[in-house]
Amino acid sequence: MPVDAFGFAFLSDQILAAGTWDVSAVYSGDANFGASGVSGYTQVVTGAVNGIQAAI
Protein backbone atom coordinates (compact mmCIF):
# COMPACT_ATOMS: atom_id res chain seq x y z
CA MET A 1 0.00 0.00 0.00
CA PRO A 2 1.56 3.34 -0.97
CA VAL A 3 2.03 6.19 1.49
CA ASP A 4 1.52 9.89 0.90
CA ALA A 5 4.11 12.68 1.30
CA PHE A 6 3.49 12.70 5.06
CA GLY A 7 3.98 8.94 5.48
CA PHE A 8 0.30 8.05 5.86
CA ALA A 9 -1.26 5.03 4.19
CA PHE A 10 -5.02 5.02 3.61
CA LEU A 11 -7.54 2.23 3.29
CA SER A 12 -10.39 3.51 1.19
CA ASP A 13 -13.36 2.22 -0.74
CA GLN A 14 -13.38 -0.93 1.36
CA ILE A 15 -16.46 -2.60 2.79
CA LEU A 16 -16.22 -3.66 6.42
CA ALA A 17 -18.90 -5.79 8.02
CA ALA A 18 -19.99 -5.05 11.57
CA GLY A 19 -17.68 -6.58 14.13
CA THR A 20 -14.21 -6.27 15.58
CA TRP A 21 -11.22 -6.10 13.24
CA ASP A 22 -7.57 -6.51 14.23
CA VAL A 23 -5.30 -4.11 12.35
CA SER A 24 -1.55 -4.32 11.91
CA ALA A 25 0.99 -2.52 9.74
CA VAL A 26 4.47 -3.50 8.60
CA TYR A 27 7.14 -1.32 7.00
CA SER A 28 9.94 -3.25 5.32
CA GLY A 29 12.43 -0.38 5.49
CA ASP A 30 14.54 1.35 2.89
CA ALA A 31 18.01 2.91 2.59
CA ASN A 32 17.07 5.64 5.10
CA PHE A 33 14.81 3.92 7.63
CA GLY A 34 14.82 0.49 9.24
CA ALA A 35 11.97 -1.97 9.20
CA SER A 36 9.21 -1.62 11.80
CA GLY A 37 5.67 -2.72 12.51
CA VAL A 38 2.73 -2.28 14.79
CA SER A 39 -0.01 -4.61 15.93
CA GLY A 40 -2.57 -4.68 18.67
CA TYR A 41 -4.84 -2.02 17.17
CA THR A 42 -8.51 -2.98 17.13
CA GLN A 43 -11.15 -1.30 14.98
CA VAL A 44 -14.77 -1.80 16.03
CA VAL A 45 -17.40 -1.37 13.32
CA THR A 46 -20.93 -1.06 14.65
CA GLY A 47 -22.61 -1.25 11.24
CA ALA A 48 -21.64 -1.95 7.65
CA VAL A 49 -19.51 0.89 6.31
CA ASN A 50 -18.86 1.66 2.68
CA GLY A 51 -16.17 4.07 1.54
CA ILE A 52 -14.25 4.52 4.79
CA GLN A 53 -10.85 6.14 4.93
CA ALA A 54 -8.61 5.14 7.81
CA ALA A 55 -5.08 6.42 8.30
CA ILE A 56 -2.60 3.86 9.54
8 vs 54, residue with greater confidence = 8
For residue range 1-51, list pLDDT tens digits in order. 677 888 777 766 566 778 888 888 888 888 999 999 988 888 888 775 565
Residue 55, pLDDT above cutoff 70: no
Q: Where exactly are the structural domains of the chain?
A: 1-28+36-49
Q: Read off the pTM.
A: 0.47
Q: Tell me: pLDDT of 54 over 60.
A: no
Pairwise CA distance, residues 55 & 53, whole Å: 7
Task: Output the pLDDT for position 34.
Answer: 93
- Given a contact cutoff of 8 angstroms between Cβ atoms, the answer to whether 12 and 1 are in contact is no
